[in-house]
Amino acid sequence: MRTFIAVDVNQEIREIATDVIDRLVGLGFKAAWTKPENLHLTLFFLGEMDEKAVESMALSLNKRLQGFPSFSTNLVDFGYFKFKQSPRVLFLKLEPTKSLQRMYLEMKSELTKCKVKYDDQGNFVPHVTLGRVKEYPNNWEELVKEIQVPKVSLVIDGITIYSSTLTPQGPIYKWMYKLKFEGGLVRNAR
């Protein structure tokens, strides 16, 4: 199953994301928009994994992250990744705090130790994907300069491991494991 590790976002960020998506649609962007319930901060995309490998990885990460102090980061901006001169991914940017970077590097180290393959994008840019662009207005870079997002705090006290099933209506995410830093690994019984 397609698997990824993420941090869940709060309701406030979901509402801001919905407002920004509405604004982008109004500006003429067409994209595969992320549904509010699917919004998250992706840490690692792992691709296809079997259930036993996911369970083993969850146990290892749980052990590694147990006792990691809870921390917060802030939603700080709207951003995009572009290819040549075209926007490809539109997102909300999160502040790359020292704690977030440290957690990411701890996890990366544990995944490497467990020989879990992951999509390594090189530089970790913490963001919440709003959509993958299909069409965009000519003066898109000028238009998006106007998009402001309020500074909102996101408390991070754990991570979630998800499976992703691709459908014509968009991906369906199902959480498999929730790991809390204070201890506790919860497995989805469904």
| Cβ–Cβ under 8 Å, residues 161 and 65 | no
Structure tokens at 115: 């020989």
Active site residue 109: no
**Long-range contacts of 58-62, Cβ-Cβ distance < 8 Å, separation of 24 or more:** 58/161, 58/176, 58/177, 58/179, 58/185, 58/187, 59/185, 60/110, 60/113, 60/114, 61/5, 61/107, 61/110, 61/111, 61/159, 61/161, 61/179, 62/177, 62/179, 62/185
- Annotated active-site residue in 24, 40, 126, 158: 40
Active site residue 127: yes
- Annotated active-site residue in 127, 133, 154, 161: 127
- Nearest in space to 154 (alpha carbons), one of 34, 35, 17: 17
Active site residues: 40, 127
